[in-house]
Structure 1
Amino acid sequence: MAANATIRRVITDPMTGTPIEVGRHRYRPSAATKELVQVRDRECRVPGCHRPVQACDLDHVQPWAHGGNTHHANLCGLCRRDHRLKDEPGWHHRMTDTGALEITTPAGRTYRNEPEPLTTTA
């Protein structure tokens, strides 16, 4: 039985027990990670695109094939059109520590998209 065992690291929020990271062993995000990214992004992260994130792909900013993790800090919502454009030569995407997405075009222009803060009602 031990020979067939799978060990997987799962990091949970200590207050809620909600999974927040499952490590690099999974390409697809967990339901909790997907929900976190969708709440944070709300729409495609490319400036000027307002497609709702529920209709977008969750994309690895640092590609999975190049060591990118399946973690909310490395995932963003991109509509299918912008996701395909990202994979074209000359385009570079980078997620900052604050969650801002920086997109550099083949022409060398850099655009920055900060996720909108969640507002509370009084």
Structure 2
Amino acid sequence: MSYVVLGFGVLILMLGVVIVVKPEYLFDMFRKYADSFRFQVLAVLTRLALGGALLMAADESKFPIALQVIGGISILAAIVFALMSRVRFKRLLRWALGFAPSFTRIAGVVATLLGGFLVYAVA
């Protein structure tokens, strides 16, 4: 399961770098698919997969408690997104995409650090 977490870590790290360097590239794609039901399903399934992988890999990682907490938060987010209506999900997505560019770059740095942490924790 560590390899799955490693893959998620690398993906999160790369997406964080994209957000820092050129946030409109990723956010334009999010805006394009925001109305799609599949996008909400993908958001739920991705968070479930990440959370489950983190919980299963936690014991063999360098930071088991941190991975358990992050995994639990990820699963909780998946549950919230699954129970959220389409209208509320779209509204949440538009709200998140409406932040000023300076805040999006900060989010990109945080994502890069999180991805790097996940890679380090299971490597």
Q: TM-score, normalised by structure 1?
A: 0.24
Higher relative contact order (CA 8 A, sep 6+): 2
Q: TM-score, normalised by structure 2?
A: 0.24
Higher CA-based Rg: 1
**Greater strand percent: which structure?**
1
